Amino acid sequence: MLSSLRYLAGSAGPSGYGSRTTADEATLPAGDLSHITAIVTGATSGIGAETARVLARRGARLVLPARNLKAAEETRARILADLGDAGSGGGRVVVLPLDLSSLASVRRFVHRFLALRLPLNLLINNAGQYAERFAVSEDGVEMTFATNYLGHFLLTELLLPAMADTARATGVQGRVVNVSSTVHAWFAADAGDDGPLAYLHRVTRKATPYDPTRAYALSKLANVLHTTALAGRLREMGADVTANCVHPGIVRTRLIRDRAGLVTNTVFFLASKLLKTVPQAAATTCYAAVHPAVAGVSGRYFADCNEAAPSRLASSAEEASRLWSFSEAITAEKEKEESALPVTSFRFQVQSSNADRGMAIA
């Protein structure tokens, strides 16, 4: 009750920030980020675009993976225009192709990224979709789960060596931020289920009717469970990299606009006072990504730029371990079937400013 009142009032929590904090405000204490390289998925619109814009304004180099390269190039152009002279040369924003629903595409993206020989400090897994109709990815996985979770799982797994090497070479702690949603709490396993994976198995094989909201909730639950397991894995590796997840808040981004209709429009009109603006919705992602107060914090869930409690199911270490094992198994199985180029080991190389200015844009 208290958290709801705080949200409505926009009052600050223990961090000093609240629901009305913007991404610009949340990143101000981070200062100059010109030493940071960040990958931001889903940066062509909405929260991802605002996250990318704000990080760029603080000086970060950006890599923008996208399925729609035209939209990504338009985002890149907007960011560079916003930077003005600071963005001259364009080498601070790189666009590379990526379809998160395809594990082969994820491997190709990582191969291309590593070939650039760039450091990697931040990985912001932001991209997401809400699929009204049932579909299965080319890897045989329900499409919402494949895009929102499994693609990001593999992306993170393949980039971890690069992040660990960068942290070791620079002394700057790496951070992974998974963008989840409070909707993750809407998923509850049916009676008799062994858990979320049992539901995924049934819905993928059409053994149960497809419910788009439940499928989306499952994917967001997986994001939280992934964060828990990843934080533990990073500790075991001894890597100076943290992993946290965030609920950005309710905002009418393209994900919601794609479902526009009389009922949706009416609900959002009546609830307009409860909605965040896009700059406010991007604040928690940016806070978890670069704020000094989050240094060393790992395996936590954030909302309104403050630590919060995820659902009971999302807090289960057993479910997190089970999901991790499943994800490793399915991605390893698909790798054997793919003809994509193998990902080679990464060794971070410091590049001069001249090299940065001459970097090619894909």
- Residues recognised as catalytic: 210
Which bin fits 117, alpha (ψ -120 to 50), beta or left (φ > 0)?
left
Q: What are the tokens at 14?
A: 């223990």
Within the chain, where are the H helices? 2-9, 23-27, 46-57, 69-83, 103-115, 143-145, 151-170, 196-204, 212-237, 254-257, 262-270, 278-281, 283-290, 317-337, 353-357
Per-residue DSSP letter, 294: G
95 bridge partner residues: 64
Which bin fits 290, alpha (ψ -120 to 50), beta or left (φ > 0)?
alpha
Q: How many other CB atoms are there within 10 angstroms of residue 282's CB atom?
A: 33
Which SS3 state, helix, strand or coil, does residue 215 take?
helix
- Alpha carbon separation from 299 to 216, 241, 292 (Å, rounded): 22, 11, 16
How far apart (Å, rounded) are the C-alpha atoms in residues 104 and 343? 11
Query: Of 143, 137, 219, 212, whose CA–CA distance to 181 is shortest?
Result: 219
The set of residues, in sequence order, having a beta carbon less than 8 Å from that of 357 and lying 6+ positions away, is: 89, 91
- Report CA 249 to chain centroid distance, whole Å: 14
How far apart (Å, rounded) are the C-alpha atoms in residues 346 and 349? 9
How far apart (Å, rounded) are the C-alpha atoms in residues 256 and 226? 24
How far apart (Å, rounded) are the C-alpha atoms in residues 255 and 244? 22
Which SS3 state, helix, strand or coil, does residue 261 take?
coil
Instruction: Judge whether 290 and 52 are in contact, CB under 8 Å.
Output: no
